A and B are shown apart, each in its own frame.
Chain A
C-alpha cells in the first residue's frame, strides 16, 4: 500500500525561512520539527503537520456536532468530543424570548439531544462557548453518530466536498460532519455510509483511496460490517453512539 510521507515526533520538517508555523510543529533555532506522528504539509507560506490520531482541541469558529450533557439555569453544557465542554448560553441557543419563570429549558434542548453548532468563543484557558445563531446550526434528529479521528474529517469531506457528496449520493443518506470528529448519518443505507467513512479514517494517508471508496460504494456492504452492526459489543458499535461516552 502506498502512503504519503509520514513524519514522527522530533523529525525535522524544513528550515523555517520566514514562513508561518501552523499546527503540529515547533521551532528550534531556525529549524522546524514535527510534534506528531502525521502527515507534513509544506508550502511557500506555512509549515504544519496533520496528526494521524488525537483528541479534538476546540478552536474559535469551528463548526461542530455536540451532545447536550446538562441543562443549566441559563443554558446548556455540550459534549463536543473533547476534554473541554462547551457552554451554549440561552441567548445563543434560542431565538425567541424565553420567560424563565414559565418555560423549562428542556423544551428547547434536552439531555442527549444532538446539535450542530459553531464555537463562538475559545479562551486561552480553553473555556468554550457555543452558538446556534447561524442558519446552518440546528438540532439533528434521529440518525446515528459516528466518532472518527478529528484530523480525518477533511479527508472524509474530500476536495470541495467531492468525497462526502459521492457517499451521500450512492447511499441516499443525509450526512453532516463536525470538525470535532463527529459524523451524523440518517438514512436507509447508513451501513454503507458507515463502512465507507470508517475505511477513509483507517486509510486516510494512503494513495488511491478515492477509487477504492467508489468501488466499495458500488458493491454490497461487506457481510462482516452488517454482522458487526447487529452485535452490540462490536468495535463498530463502539464508534457509533447517540450518547457520547468517556
Chain B
C-alpha cells in the first residue's frame, strides 16, 4: 500500500482521490466528557483524537509567580494502533505533546495572569491530556485542533473559601484569546502535501509542522522526518501552512 501511495504522490495524486493540499473530512465535537472541565473530540478522516482538560490548584513556578500553569501530555494508547505499546509515553508521544504545548504557550492563547488565586502561592493549573483513539495519520494537526477546541469550551471550577476546587460547580470560562492552528506540511521529492493518511506517513521524506495565529504570526515550528528539506522550499511550506490555517480556523468555535 505504501509504495502505491508513494507512486501516486509523485504524480500529484492521493490514494483517496484528494488534492495534494486538501484535508480529509473534519468533525469536531465539543464538551463530550462531562467530568472534564473542557473537552473535544476530533475526527480527521479516520484519525480520532480526544483532548480532555482538567483544572487543578498548584504552586506557580518561581520565575512566573503571577501566572497559572499549563501542562500538556499525550497518550498513544495501544488500542489506537498496533504500533503503540503500553507504558510511559515514548519519544513520539512526548514530541507531540511538547509541540502542541508550544503552539498554545508561545501564542499566549491562554491569559495565564488571570489564573492567579494568591500571587506567588496559589494558581490554577490547566492540564491538557491528548488521547489518540485511532491513528490513521496526521496526529499532530488533529491533536492541536482538539486541544484548542477543548480549551475554548473549558469552564473554570468554583473554589471554596480555602481555595480548594468544588467539583461540579463552575464560574466562567477559561480566558482564551487566540486560536493558533497547526498545519503539518509534508514533502515527497518536490511535491508538497497536507494531512497525510497513515500510508502516506511512512513514505514521506520530511514534514514541517507550523502553528499559525489569526494575525498570521508563526508561533511554533517543528521539522520531522528522516530526510532534509531543501532551504529554498521552506518558504513555500510556510506559505502553504499559513493559507490552510485560515480555512481550518473556521471550523473552531
The answer to A–B direct touch (Cβ < 8 A) is no
Residues of A near any B CB (own CB < 8 A): none
Residues of B near any A CB (own CB < 8 A): none
